[in-house]
Amino acid sequence: MHPWRELVHGIDDDAPEGARDYINFDNAATTPPFVAVTRRIQEVVPWYASIHRGTGIKSRVATRLYEGARESVLEFFGAPQDEFGVVFVKHTTEALNLFAWVAGREGMRVITSVHEHHSNLLPWRRLPGTVVLEAAPDGGHDLDALESALREHPGPATVVAVTAASNVTGALTPLEAISSLTRRHGARLLVDAAQIAAHRRLHMRSPDLAVDVLAVSGHKLYAPFGVGALVAPLKLLDAADPWLVGGGVADLVTDDAVLFARGPHRHEAGSPNLLGAVALAAALEELQRLGLDAVEAHERTLTRRALDALGAMNGVRLLGPAPKREDRLGIVPMAVEGFPQNLVAAALAREWNIGVRSGCFCAHPYVTRLLRLAGAPAPTTVARGEGRTCWMPDGVVRASFGLYNTEAEVDRLVTALGEIQREGPRMRYRVVGSGYHTDDEEAWVASHLPGRPGAARIPTDADPEE
Ligand SMILES: Cc1ncc(COP(=O)(O)O)c(C=O)c1O
């Protein structure tokens, strides 16, 4: 057994009955929690209290923990404390919307591209003058087009917003080249680190990389509890009015004036998410303890194994970077010929107990282009809304790996896909929305709900020793 399997909840012995042989290959969407995270939460819960203005010891401890979590984020991403602030938010999506507000107030122009997750696309599309670059003919980034856009819009009022790794293909964005172009034209670089943070080292300030703004989600790096972070220059955070206003953001409010706080507090309206911040810091410390180089090496092994086996299978089309390319995360997008991809995902779940994702992964423009590049048949699904009719592609199946997955699990996925491809799904499915369900779908889910009488539960540290 891989030693890292014990580091996350819900695997092997830690899994409730019924989920014991479950294989989670949906880590690009959400990872299971680290045990180190829930342990830290258990330690902190007795100290849970109001933070910032409370004078009692619990409030003081809670405040120290919350502010300390900002330091952990800065350290993990190599962001100097005197230059950057960390705003705790719910997730990457909120971080990017918050920065879009700041950018809008400061009259900035954003250059982004069709590769992006909707969370790193739609907030910018709301701003005037946003430039959305087309993909290069091979589906990658078009650096010449970026350079032209930067030449047209040079200076610090321009922000280049890119993801560090595609949530669809796992391809790493050529960040260093983009950083160098961005610097050369005096613009700023924003990096959506939602995908990369749990898998590769990313330092905002290093000899080859200068990142000015970064967004990240806790739930994609083994830290649930509804937290994410925006790391941004303190100067920029202080320049813009808060996006949300209310408690916590103002130093002084008179009948007709408001003096907003400076630093991250300015953008954290309402009572802060202490447990979320603590969870995020604990997860980052755990990743540092394991070493991101070791994580990368293990996930590369899994990815290579999957790409080699799936690439050799008739009827399975791999999408994204060429299988031999190493510059990708453990994300494997594919289309199984002859079947709707959502049906393949349903069969993997029901018949093989393997959880993957299928569809277009909140990256509709990019998936549409990838499928076109791969010569996929014309889109089959129609979506109607707001008086318009759009054609949605059938999408792809995506398997994505975490540090606790094993080669044996990859082999099982390959076997399962081979059988589905050869013989089709064994159970009967009906179309429900854009997905596929069996007739007993509801009962199947209900029989696994935690908390029902007699339901198996994961043991906790609070349970008596056996
Ligand atoms: C690259 C990328 N950016 C942003 C997001 C949005 O993350 P969240 O849903 O945590 O806000 C995702 C989620 O899949 C993602 O993969």
CATH number reported for the structural domain that contains residue 216 in this entry: 3.40.640.10
Q: Does residue 222 share a domain with residue 84?
A: yes
Residue 194: half-sphere exposure toward Cβ, Cα within 13 Å: 27
pLDDT tens-digit readout, 276-305: 999 999 999 999 999 999 999 999 999 999
Q: How far is the CA of 194 from the centre of ligand 1 (A)?
A: 5
Q: How far is the CA of 462 from the centre of ligand 1 (A)?
A: 33
93 C-beta closer than 6 A to ligand 1: yes
Q: What is the pLDDT of residue 410?
A: 98
Inside any domain, residue 458:
no
In the chain, how many domains are there? 2
400 C-beta closer than 6 A to ligand 1: no
Q: How far is the CA of 115 from the centre of ligand 1 (A)?
A: 13
Which of 388, 421, 407, 390 is CA-nearest to residue 315?
Answer: 421
Q: Does residue 242 share a domain with residue 329?
A: no
Can you tell me which atom of ligand 1 is nearest the CA of 163? Answer: 1
Which of 429, 367, 31 is CA-nearest to residue 224?
Answer: 31
- For the chain, the maximum distance between any two Cα atoms, rounded to a whole number of angstroms, is 73
Q: What is the pLDDT of residue 252?
A: 96
Can you tell me which atom of ligand 1 is nearest the CA of 361? Answer: 14
**Contact assessment for residue 195 and residue 164, using Cβ atoms and an 8 Å cutoff:** yes
**Residue for token pair 């194994």:** 305
Q: Is 285 left (phi over 0), alpha (psi -120 to 50) or beta?
A: alpha
Q: Does residue 306 share a domain with residue 272?
A: no
Average pLDDT along the chain: 92
Neighbours of 330 (CB within 10 A): 27
Return the axis-axis angle of helices 143-152 and 175-184, rounded to nearest 10°.
20
Inside any domain, residue 181:
yes
Q: How far is the CA of 186 from the centre of ligand 1 (A)?
A: 28
31 C-beta closer than 6 A to ligand 1: no
- Of all protein residues, the one whose alpha carbon is nearest to atom 7 of ligand 1 is 92
Report the residue among 329, 362, 398 best suited for mutation to probe ligand 1: largest number of ligand atoms under 8 A from its CB.
362
Inside any domain, residue 464:
no
The amino acid occupying position 382 is V
Inside any domain, residue 461:
no
Boundaries of domain holding 119: 38-289
112 C-beta closer than 6 A to ligand 1: no
Neighbours of 75 (CB within 10 A): 14
Q: What is the pLDDT of residue 462?
A: 57
Q: Does residue 441 share a domain with residue 408?
A: yes
Inside any domain, residue 462:
no
Inside any domain, residue 465:
no
**CATH code of the domain containing 417:** 3.90.1150.10
Q: What is the pLDDT of residue 48?
A: 95
Angle (CA) 291 217 241, round 5°: 125
Q: What is the pLDDT of residue 12?
A: 86
- Of all protein residues, the one whose alpha carbon is nearest to atom 12 of ligand 1 is 194
Can you tell me which atom of ligand 1 is nearest the CA of 228? Answer: 10
pLDDT tens-digit readout, 120-160: 999 999 999 999 999 998 888 999 999 999 999 999 999 99
Q: Measured between alpha carbons, how far is 250 from 191 in angstroms, rounded to an integer?
A: 29
Low-confidence stretches of the chain (pLDDT beneath 70):
323-324, 376-393, 452-466
Question: 247 Cβ partners below 8 Å, 6+ apart?
Answer: 269, 270, 271
Can you tell me which atom of ligand 1 is nearest the CA of 94? Answer: 11
Q: What is the pLDDT of residue 367?
A: 87
Q: Measured between alpha carbons, how far is 15 from 335 in angstroms, rounded to an integer?
A: 30
SS3 172: strand
SS3 194: coil
Can you tell me which atom of ligand 1 is nearest the CA of 192? Answer: 3
Q: Does residue 285 share a domain with residue 247?
A: yes
Q: Does residue 130 share a domain with residue 99?
A: yes
- Of all protein residues, the one whose alpha carbon is nearest to atom 13 of ligand 1 is 29
pLDDT tens-digit readout, 366-423: 988 888 777 766 555 556 666 665 556 678 899 999 999 999 999 999 999 999 999 9
Q: What is the DSSP letter of 374?
A: T
Can you tell me which atom of ligand 1 is nearest the CA of 167? Answer: 16
Neighbours of 283 (CB within 10 A): 29
Q: What is the pTM of this model?
A: 0.94
Q: Does residue 212 share a domain with residue 306?
A: no
Inside any domain, residue 329:
yes
**Contact assessment for residue 116 and residue 110, using Cβ atoms and an 8 Å cutoff:** no
358 C-beta closer than 6 A to ligand 1: no
Q: Does residue 100 share a domain with residue 249?
A: yes
Report the residue among 27, 89, 96, 117 best suited for mutation to probe ligand 1: largest number of ligand atoms under 8 A from its CB.
117
Residue that is last in its domain, among 289, 312, 342? 289
Q: Measured between alpha carbons, how far is 161 from 175 in angstroms, rounded to an integer?
A: 11
Chain centre distance of CA 103: 22
368 C-beta closer than 6 A to ligand 1: no
Active-site residue list: 362
91 C-beta closer than 6 A to ligand 1: yes
Q: Measured between alpha carbons, how far is 18 from 21 in angstroms, rounded to an integer?
A: 8
Q: Measured between alpha carbons, how far is 249 from 229 in angstroms, rounded to an integer?
A: 17
Residue that is last in its domain, among 289, 308, 327? 289
**Residue for token pair 């959305």:** 132
Q: Does residue 226 share a domain with residue 317?
A: no
Query: Can you read off the two tokens belonging to residue 235?
Result: 């100067």
Q: Does residue 303 share a domain with residue 188?
A: no
195 C-beta closer than 6 A to ligand 1: yes
Inside any domain, residue 15:
yes
97 C-beta closer than 6 A to ligand 1: no
Q: Does residue 240 share a domain with residue 135?
A: yes
Q: Does residue 370 share a domain with residue 442?
A: yes
Q: How far is the CA of 109 from the centre of ligand 1 (A)?
A: 22
